[in-house]
Amino acid sequence: MTANDVMAKIKDEGIRVIDLRFVDLPGLWQHFTVSAKEFSADIFEEGIGFDGSSIRGFQQIQESDMLLFPDPSTAFIDPFAAETTLCLICNIKDPITGESYTRDPRHIAQKAEAYLKSTGIGDTAYFGPEPEFFIFDDIRFGQTYNEGYYHIDAGEGFWNAGRAENPDAAGNSRNLGYKPRYKEGYFPVPPMDSHQDLRTEMLLTLEQIGVDIEVHHHEVGTAGQAEIDMRFDSLVSMGDKLMKYKYAVKNVARRHGKTVTLMPKPIFQDNGSGMHVHQSVWKDGRNQFFEAGTYGDLSDTALHYIGGVLKHAPALLALTNPTTNSYRRLVPGYEAPINLIYSMRNRSAAVRIPVYSSSEKAKRIETRFPDPTCNGYMAFSALLMAGLDGVQNKITPPGPLDKDLYDLPPEDKAQIDSTPADLAEALDALEKDHEFLLKGDVFTKDVVETWLSYKRENEIDAIRLRPHPWEFALYFDI
């Protein structure tokens, strides 16, 4: 869709408001809405101003003015707005220099795509994320000087197996059962899977706004853990689709009096929510990851790409697993991919080679450690840059290892590197290892430094300085 197409759509369909959207550095969609009477074709060329100092990770107050430039190819109708609203995803530019804003995550993704082409390794990188999330009925949390707590409830939660609910015609409370047990929520049909229809509505809503979906299902966790998988797409387009995805699943749930979280580990002692990312690199219509007859039918390009991802994994996790909560998921025993190794079928490896199909078009790698709290534009770009660095430097990955990595003897486990233990460790790794991100000016030094300082000051310190409720159970009477 061109700018002229957008203007014609506004006129022909009587659209009265246009919503302009962009993403902040941590990865949350921001927006403001313009009357159709004030929206002209000039905005596509000249931009529209906003205050960059009020956006997380952006400008200082003394240099706050920024410009949004709508991308006409991203136009879609908001399925949740009461008034018909046309949404446009925007790029950001500096009003003084006229140059694209280096901290704009979408611009980082655009530069990553351009860098791939400049290397000659490929012309298109495809990404297929599999976000997981929880659907809750109630969430409360707070922290004051003398109190800190969170409370989660969900009709599906196994902790509600004995709760009085569902009153009958006489007003007598009863419980109808069918609560998924901890770590046993994978694939049961209704009534155990009580969110079948809700997920289907999410799927249809996503398709309505241009996000192609392959499958949805209940995930392993109790309390409504879900997975809805997107069909693969190119880097920038998939970054856009991940933003639409998060927006849609949250708002469909809210429409039904429920709430969605993409936190990796909201439930103690149950599986967390990841976002496995399938990747492949293509050139001139051919999959550069495919070579028949090798281990997993992987080409040398694919192996070296894996080598780059595994070598830079500790630094990558600062971007693909960017929250303190991310590392509560990355622990043994919950199908978490903490081992920096690759394998053809083993899901405890950081990189898996799917073998559902032997065809060239289906050949891909699956990076299993990312989670859905990441900024997709930045996470996908970082994965691509790490993989390309592996190809350029012919980095041989450790492995493959097809054993159950959780059951290896201690002496064998000691030979396998693991994911960072926490966000602080991942940030330290990124601080030491980020030159691969700077190639082609994809990530700038300023972006890396801003990310490090933002995460340390606003998240690491914020958690570190607050007493934890369980500390009182451990230490109050000491």
Active site residues: 51, 130, 132, 219, 227, 276, 347, 366, 368
Task: Output the CA–CA distances (angstroms, integers) from residue 144 to 148, 149, 249, in the order listed.
Answer: 6, 9, 31
Copy the structure tokens of residue 450.
Answer: 């801003």
Copy the structure tokens of residue 222.
Answer: 């109790």
Backbone angles phi, psi at 352, to 5 degrees: -115, 150
Distance CA 26, CA 318 (A): 11
| CA 240 to mean position of chain CA atoms | 11
Distance CA 30, CA 102 (A): 17
Q: What's the per-residue H, E or C state across the chain?
A: CCHHHHHHHHHHCCCCEEEEEEECCCCCEEEEEEECCCCCCHHHHHCEEEEHHHCCCCCCHHHCEEEEEECHHHCEECCCCCCCEEEEEEEEECCCCCCECCCCHHHHHHHHHHHHHHHCCCCEEEEEEEEEEEEECEEEEEEECCEEEEEEECCCCHHHCCCCECCCCCCCCECCCCCCCCCCCCCCCCCCCCCHHHHHHHHHHHHHCCCCEEEEEECCCCCCEEEEEECCEEHHHHHHHHHHHHHHHHHHHHHCCCEEECCCCCCCCCCCCCEEEEEEEEECCEECCECCCCHHHECHHHHHHHHHHHHCHHHHHHHHCCCCCHHHHCCCCCCCCCEEEEECCCCCEEEECCCCCCCCCCCCEEECCCCCCCCHHHHHHHHHHHHHHHHHCCCCCCCCCCCCHHHCCHHHHCCCCECCCCHHHHHHHHHHCCHHHHHHHCCCHHHHHHHHHHHHHHHHHHHHCCCCHHHHHHHCCC
Please, which residues have CB within 8 angstroms of residue 431's CB and are 6 or more apart in sequence? Answer: 448, 452
